Amino acid sequence: MGKGRKSGGAGLTAAAAVIGIAAGLAAAAGRRVALQAAEAMTGEWADALKAEHLMILELFDLIDATKPDETRKRSRLLRRLRAALDKHAYQEESVIYPAAALAGVDVKPLYAEHAEAKVLLYALAERDPGEPGWCDEVKRLRGMADAHMRVEEDEVFPALNAALAADKQVSLTALMHRKGVTFA
């Protein structure tokens, strides 16, 4: 789990484990099936996104634990991080943020933060992961991601949850999972 983050409970830990297992299976031919099964087991949309947050923070931890001469490992982990963030952002930008905006939540800053993170990810991929300062930029990205996730979990998700009736919660969850599988 990320440094300084509170645990979201046993359910989120189990969901993160399921997503982690599915991510490993995703390398096989049944990538979409594995992701769909993992997401279905995470429950409602907010729990699924929180579990993905934990998985993303774990990837940051794995990168942070590398040595400067482990450039292949750093590159591989950065590709995994980028794929996880791309999928996650796609689900939020195409489903959760529009629903939140319609519920009166200001999500414009969140879109801008996603764009900034994508630029930094691109810049990191263009650099040699063994060069000085590379890990400092990853740490900067992690700080941005952590702050972004806190706003989502502490403000946006609760506000959207409160604004939606139970049937809308179910349909939003299903739509978000479908978008995630489509992206995979």
Q: Return the higher-pLDDT residue of 99 and 40.
A: 99
Name the class of domain 10-183.
Answer: mainly alpha
Quote the percentage of the chain above a pLDDT of 70.
Answer: 76
Q: Give the domain ranges of the chain.
A: 10-183
Q: What is the pLDDT of residue 136?
A: 96
Residue 2 pLDDT greater than 50, yes or no: no
pLDDT band, very low/low/confident/very high, at 69 (cuts 50, 70, 90):
very high
The reply to whether the predicted model has a pTM over 0.85 is: no
Give tens-digit pLDDT for 96-145: 999 999 999 999 999 999 999 999 999 999 999 999 999 999 999 999 99
Q: What is the 3-state secondary structure (H, E, C) of the chain?
A: CCCCCCCCCHHHHHHHHHHHHHHHHCCCCCHHHHHHHHHHHCCCHHHHHHHHHHHHHHHHHHHHCCCCCCHHHHHHHHHHHHHHHHHHHHHHHHHHHHHHHHCCCCCHHHHHHHHHHHHHHHHHHHCCCCCCCHHHHHHHHHHHHHHHHHHHHHHHHHHHHHHCCHHHHHHHHHHHHHHHHHHC
